[in-house]
Amino acid sequence: MIRRTLSGRPAALALAMIAAALFCFWHLFGWLAATGTPATPEPPIFVYGNAKARFTLIEYADLECPYCKDAFPQLKQLVGRQDSLNWQWHHLPLAMHGEAAVHEARLVTCAGWLGGNAMFWQAVGAVYRHSRGNGDGLAVPIDHLGLQSALSSQHLQDCIQDNATVRRVVAEQTAAAARKRIDATPTFELRDNSSGRVIRLPSLLDDAGMLSAMDWLASQEGADAQQSQ
């Protein structure tokens, strides 16, 4: 009887260790899901509207810029009416708006990276609602932006402060704008995703103007084809 009891202990101990390991793994998996671990190795390009649209309106934008803030609802409505057009965000935090613009660029990038494309655009809208603008930054703390239902505020804050990849992405987009000599926000480009041709727009166009610009870009693809014959 004593031998049987002793021989059963290793098996019982092994089962207990397996159960404990499974318990820890389950809770770790739940914690990772709650904090929003990024699904990609670096932030994606954030696009609003039809991802397969032929044309893309690229906005070079600063989250402290009052003109960008005014354009935001207009852009959502414009793209919502045009199935052949989507809208791509490009960070350009202006030096005149200081650290506040850079911080907010990192904030929305982290929100989109952790929470997905829709969360990025939700974060942009929240920043515009709560920013004092012109470099004065947010009027409320991050946990008052209304993003908590999908993101951990602490995890978001850690990403903003410490994530080198997010810092690099924002810096690279700013440098890319400078190489194109874009130094004002908002600035808009229209790209034909079929031909790759890009034109800079004089301003945010209305529906008729945007349709004319898209028609012109499309016609250039046909002109290129004729020249190659």
Task: List the chain domain ranges.
Answer: 47-219
pLDDT recorded at residue 20:
53
Whether the model pTM is above 0.95 = no
Q: Is the domain 47-219 a CATH 3.40.30.10 member?
A: yes
Which residue type is seen at 45?
I
Give me 195's structure tokens.
């031909």
DSSP string, 125-180: HHHHHHB--TT--BSS-GGGSS-TTTS-HHHHHHHHHH-HHHHHHHHHHHHHHHHT
Amino acid at 156: L
pLDDT at 221: 79
Place of tokens 């052949």: 84
Predicted confidence at residue 32, as pLDDT, reads 40
Positions of the chain with pLDDT lower than 50, given as ranges = 1-7, 22-35
Which residue, 96, 95, 99, 151, is CA-closest to 120?
Answer: 151
The pLDDT assigned to 143 comes to 92
pLDDT of residue 217: 96
For residue 39, how many C-alpha atoms fall within 13 Å in the half-sphere facing its CB? 7
pLDDT of residue 81: 96
